[in-house]
Amino acid sequence: MTVSNEELELKDRLSLIETMIAEGRRSTETYGWTFVLWGVAYYVAIAWTAWGLYRSLAWPVTMVAASALTGVFASRQKHSRPETTLGRAMSSIWTAMGISMFIVLMCLAISGRYDLHIFVAIIGAMLGMVNATSSLILKWKMQFACAVVWWAAAVVACFASEAKTGIAFLAAIFFCQIVFGIYAMMCESRRRNLGATHA
């Protein structure tokens, strides 16, 4: 193999990697609605816990309902587009994080060792990790910013008062779930409009 053939092969591989990363980001943009859905679900659970009846059911019921809605809408969305290896990898990371978080938080609630500081520290650390992982794979700075915000909320939960911990959690939900989800949906919409314009 000559040097020029090796360079061509290397360029082809780099091009393939860049294409896969771009496809992964497009796939994540397509699921921007899930960020918004889960952000709203967190707010519903928080409000139910503060002001509703049967407060101990707020988080389990809301999280199970959000999981079911995500599953239904995601399965409908998957039928409309082919699945990629990177898309499956990203989905696997988020699913594993969701299952881990559900198990730990459910066990803490059942055992009676639930505490707002522990709760926010766990959620902040896990969501920081999964956002950072996604952002590093997809080379997406905006999602890495979400990871930093979640990690900051986890740190606040370890050192601050309960009121400041609650504020940090509410702010992280707003910026990392609602705002980021809307941003991803806007990116997808812009991409679709460009595709329709060029078609």
pLDDT (tens digit, 9 = 90+) per residue, 42-61?
999 999 988 988 888 888 89
Give residue-wise pLDDT tens across range 97-143.
Answer: 989 988 988 888 778 777 899 999 999 999 999 999 999 988 889 99
Kindly report the pTM of this predicted structure.
Answer: 0.83
Q: Which residues contact 199 (CB under 8 A, 6 or more apart)?
A: none
The pLDDT confidence band at residue 89, using thresholds 50, 70 and 90, is confident
Q: Where are the domains of the chain?
A: 85-198
With cut-offs at 50, 70 and 90, classify the pLDDT of residue 197.
low
Mean pLDDT of 82-95: 80
Instruction: Name which residue leads in pLDDT, 11 or 161.
Output: 161
pLDDT of residue 151: 98
Instruction: Write the secondary structure of the chain as one string of H (helix), E (strand) and C (coil).
Output: CCHHHHHHHHHHHHHHHHHHHHHHHHHHHHCHHHHHHHHHHHHHHHHHHHHCCCHHHHHHHHHHHHHHHHHHHHHHHHHHCCCCHHHHHHHHHHHHHHHHHHHHHHHHHHHCCCCHHHHHHHHHHHHHHHHHHHHHHHCCHHHHHHHHHHHHHHHHHHHCCHHHHHHHHHHHHHHHHHHHHHHHHHHHHHHHHHHHHHC
